[in-house]
Amino acid sequence: MKRNISFLAQIGLFAYLVLTLSSCKKDFLDRKSLNAYSEEDVWSNINLVETFVNSKYRSLPHFYSSSTIVPSVSGLSASSDEGYCQWNYEDVWFFNLGQVTPDNLSMDAWQGYYGFIRDCNTFFDHIDAVEGDAELKERLTAEVKFIRAWCYFDLVSRYGGVPLITKVYSLSDDDYLVPRNSYDECMDFIISELDEAAAMLPLSYNGADVGRITKGAALSLKSRAMLYAASPLNNPTNDRTKWTAALNAAKAVVDLDVYSLYQGEDYRRVFLEKFNSEVILSFNINATTNPSGEYESRLNVMIGPNGYHGYSSYTPSQTMVDQFQMKNGKMITEEGSGYDLNNPYADRDPRFYADILSNGVEFRGRPYESFVGGLDSPQSSIENWNASLTGYNWRKYSDDAQPIDENVGTDQNWIIFRYAEIYLNYAEAAFETGDEATARMYLNLIRSRVSVEMPDVTATGADLYEAIQLERQIELCFEGHRFFDVRRWKIAMETENKPLRSVTIEKDQSGNLSYSYFTVQNRRFYEQNYWYPIPKYELDKNGNLEQNPHY
């Protein structure tokens, strides 16, 4: 059994985890049935403790799976203006339509994360008494600090301030109904946990441990957290010291001198080569099955076109497609861009072709056909019910080396942190602290990578700020950032209140194509939707919790 993220990240039951444990001493395993370990057994053996920690990696962000305990990243994408989920997985339409309430929950994170937090607190209650390798104990302690920090960070990014619980409550405790801490109190705790974790974690691993949480991962989460904390939603007084802290947090990752932007010829390989130079931390799906025998993630089939027997579950919007610049660096609406209404996919940012499947693109041995009546259209003779309703499919993360097959799991990694995000964090914080030259430098490092080679950004002032926002939208599309970015920037009232657009492509008898555009979903966003509602099931249990405004 591997001991990196691939080992057991997709398996939900600890008893099932123990069944596959191969690193324990044989005499210990021979003591009793492998599915009968008690809590006392776990905390008496450092190898079982490590397996316990391994199972908590499942709290980290990853693509939709059939037994998702915490919300998926793909759901976040479909709940923003970049995409659509035609099957309404995780009830994402509640967000799309402005219908999320304390009773109508979408991508609810509360129970899942607090379950992991309780497990982390249990670990801290016991780890000091566990006998074994002191270095391993320290590393596991740091990993659990990171995992608990991640859980709290994602909670506060969704709900605002939440109760900070750092102990395991027993039945005799009468103080477990705690109120919410403030956003700043939660963030202070998160940063403290990450600082402590970073001090104990190695820069890298070798062999079977490659893929575990590193110092760079802890500092990358700190960079994202500090950026969010400095942004308008969470920093209404525009405290400039928070932007300086965000700048320093991004710089700390750069100063490690461990990572570099992927410079291969094919930009798509960033998302397919598991441990390339850009990846800081990723979730290894590893084609595993859950205890019921179902594949936990079928990424290829979930994003694949119907003409290849895919589900088209998550698809890009025309809104997203229109944001990709032309190869000359101009927006399609700009004078002199060269955009051709009759050939709309020509001469675009190279990342467009790596991220978006559009009509006519060569894909798996034939052109992708989303035109009316094409093999990948809603009029197709091949599983037309699974056709994309936007006219596009994801290209990002689609691995041609693996089949599009509902009976086959997916084993590419889902990237949690990569170096391009750190550069974007650095650019935004540099702009906010008045250093426009540094902001442009980090944007242009991303844009000038070998597989992209887009023109340098030369803008200043408000135009530079818009360029930073656009670069995040393009570079990080479908990776779960857009949902939070439009909220922390306080622009969601504009971006999420627009109809989500799609394309209809018609082909005449001569093979000429014509394009028209329509609305696939009328979307609504209200002021209260900047935050999730506190779930009613929690309010019913704990009268000390205060609901978010306007719910």
**How far apart are alpha carbons 265 and 453 in whole angstroms?**
11
- What mean pLDDT is predicted for residues 421-437? 98
Percentage with pLDDT > 90 across the chain: 84
Residue bearing tokens 């306080």: 490
pLDDT above 90: residue 3: no
Whether the full predicted model's pTM is greater than 0.85, yes or no, is: yes
Q: For residue 436, which amino acid is it?
A: E
Closest CA to 10 of 72, 57, 71, 74: 57
Whole-angstrom CA distances from 110 to 116, 170, 250, 535 are 10, 20, 28, 8
* pLDDT tens digits, 106-135: 999 999 999 999 999 999 999 999 999 999
3-state secondary structure of 75: helix
In this prediction, residue 441 carries a pLDDT of 98
DSSP state of 362: E
> According to the CATH classification, is domain 95-201+532-551 in 3.30.9.10?
no
CB under 8 Å to 540, separation ≥6 — which residues?
A: none
Scanning 160-239, the segments in alpha helix (DSSP H) are: 183-200, 215-230
Dihedral over Cα of 463, 464, 465, 468: its sign: positive
Query: Mean per-residue pLDDT for 210-229?
Result: 98
- Output DSSP code: residue 231: S
Q: What is the mean pLDDT of residues 508-520?
A: 97
Taking 80 as the threshold, does the pLDDT of residue 177 lie above it?
yes
**Average pLDDT in the chain:** 91
Interacting residues of 303 by C-beta distance below 8 A, sequence separation 6+: 310, 311, 312, 313, 314, 315, 393, 394, 397, 398
The full set of domain ranges for the chain reads 1-59, 95-201+532-551
205: pLDDT strictly greater than 80: yes
pLDDT at residue 39, as a whole number: 81
Q: Is the pLDDT of residue 179 over 50?
A: yes
For residue 37, the model assigns a pLDDT of: 66
pLDDT score of 35 more than 60: no
Residue 293's pLDDT band (cuts 50, 70, 90): low
The mean per-residue pLDDT over the stretch 501-530 comes to 98
Confidence of residue 423 (pLDDT cuts 50, 70, 90): very high
pLDDT, position 97: 98
**What is the total residue count of the chain?**
551
The yes-or-no verdict on residue 86 having pLDDT over 60 is yes
At 406 the pLDDT is: 84
Compute the 3-state secondary structure of the chain and give helix, strand, coil in percent, each to the nearest 5. 40, 10, 50
> Which residue intervals of 24-168 are DSSP H helices?
26-29, 39-42, 46-56, 73-78, 93-96, 110-126, 134-159
> Residue 193 corresponds to which tokens in the numbers above?
């946990």
pLDDT score at 288: 58
Residue 100 identity (one-letter amino acid):
V
The pLDDT value given to residue 30: 41
Determine the Cα–Cα distance for residues 505 and 239; give it in Å rounded to an integer. 49
pLDDT of amino acid 16: 37
* Span 243-282, pLDDT tens digits: 999 999 999 999 999 999 999 999 999 999 999 999 999 9
Cα(141)–Cα(197) distance, rounded to whole angstroms?
A: 8
pLDDT at 22: 34
**Contacting residues for 549 by C-beta, under 8 A, at least 6 apart:** 527, 528, 531
Residue 410 is predicted with a pLDDT of 78
pLDDT for the residue 8: 37
pLDDT of residue 11: 34
Structure tokens at 29: 């395993």
Instruction: Tell me the residue ranges of DSSP E strands in 330-485.
Output: 356-357, 362-363, 366-367, 393-394, 413-418
Q: Above 60 in pLDDT, residue 327? A: yes
Lowest mean pLDDT among 22-31, 50-59, 323-332, 479-488: 22-31
What DSSP assignment string belongs to 446-472? HHTSTTT-PPPP---HHHHHHHHHHHH
The string of DSSP codes covering 166-183 is -S---TT-S-----PPPH
- For 32-46, 106-120, 296-310, 508-522, which range has the lowest pLDDT when averaged over its residues? 32-46
* Residue 170 binned pLDDT confidence (cut-offs 50, 70, 90): confident
Let me know: does 233 contact 530? Beta carbons within 8 Å. yes
Structure tokens given for 245: 């802290």
Alpha-carbon gap, residue 151 to 149, rounded angstroms? 5
Banded model confidence at residue 420, pLDDT cuts 50, 70, 90: very high
- Structure-token match 């018609």, residue found: 506
